[in-house]
Amino acid sequence: MNKKITLMGMSQNELEDYCLSNDFPKFHGDQIFRWLYKNNNQELENVSNIPKKLKEKIKNDCDINLLKIKKKSISKIDKTIKFLFETKDYKFIESVSMIDSDRHTVCISSQIGCNVDCDFCATGKMGIDRNLKVGEIVEQLIEVKKNTNIPITNIVFMGMGEPFLNYRNVIESCKIFTNQKAFNLGTKRITISTAGVLPQIDLFIKEKHKYKLAVSLNAPNDLIRDKIMPINKKWNINKLMLSLKNYNFFRSRVIMFEYVLLNGINDSVENAIELSKLLKNFNCKVNLIPFNQILGNYKRSEDTTINKFAETLKKYNIRVLIRWSKGEDIDAACGQLATKHES
């Protein structure tokens, strides 16, 4: 039995090559590309501009849908929906739709599990299964779009997995997201978050991608970061900062540093002052993230501590935003994704 060809995730050039290799005109590849990604309609019978023979070829030889929605969890406290998806090989991933006024942000996953093992993150406790294919990344957005009413305005790669350990598939999916014939999102609408995978950060900078870069820092020094983020033992803060100094090719995209506040660990005024000194020469913004409860020893900082930390950063002229997470009641907040409801 021949293995089916996966259309979902193919670029326009790949789809054109598919048509040519099967003796169909090249322009049908452009039509299939629009059909897959612009109209978000994977029902072949509804496509009017593709010849019947090509439709039959696709139906017999190709996989289109790679994900199946197993569960939708709807928050009772805000306009957040968490999607549990099942892959073709019976694995599970999660995506989150977050709506705030006319801003609709989708948090998508790049891996099944994660092996970076940040001590405060539920996903990190799962370990890694595999990278997601381009089509599995893209189809998350398609399914969210089909199941919500507000147009998607922003994408953040802050779901399950370390995006830069699936670098090429993440970048290829972003090219589809920004293609005018597909989702037509601006590059500034896409944020890719990394825990600090240095070779891929260097590659991202070298390739001059215009997607926003977010670095999950979470500590002002190596002593603290070593304890909560094992990746720091391989690529420490000094090495990270030296690489990020090269991020100056597109100054309107500031570097975003994410900082999860953990009670009694990294949330003191002294920590804030040290962080300010570390970042003083960077065109950056700090996203302070109050810790979202998972099983473990960490606790959320008091609101007064969080506000004092933010005020200290502002005092030292660091741009800062406190990012109160959405969907906490359905375990959809930052650091909580772990596919624990798969059964």
94 noted as active-site residue: yes
Long-range contacts of 242-248 (CB under 8 A, 24+ apart): 243/198, 243/201, 243/202, 243/205, 244/201, 244/215, 244/282, 245/281, 245/282, 246/202, 246/205, 247/205, 247/213, 248/283
| 312 touches 283 (CB < 8 A) | no
Catalytic residue among 16, 19, 94, 136: 94
Residue 91 CB partners (closer than 8 Å, separation 6+): 112, 129, 130
Catalytic residue among 107, 114, 284, 334: 334
Rg (CA), the chain: 21
- Cβ–Cβ contacts within 10 Å for residue 327, how many? 25
Residue 186, SS3 per DSSP: coil
Burial 144-174 (b: 16+ CB within 10 A, else e): bbeebeeebebbbbbbbbbbbbbbebbbbbb
Residue 288 CB partners (closer than 8 Å, separation 6+): 259, 261, 306, 309, 310, 313, 320, 321, 322, 323
Could you tell me whether strands 190-194 and 154-157 are parallel, antiparallel, or unpaired per DSSP bridges?
Answer: parallel
Task: For 100, list phi and psi in degrees, rounded to 5.
Answer: -135, 105
Indicate which residues carry an active-site annotation. 94, 334
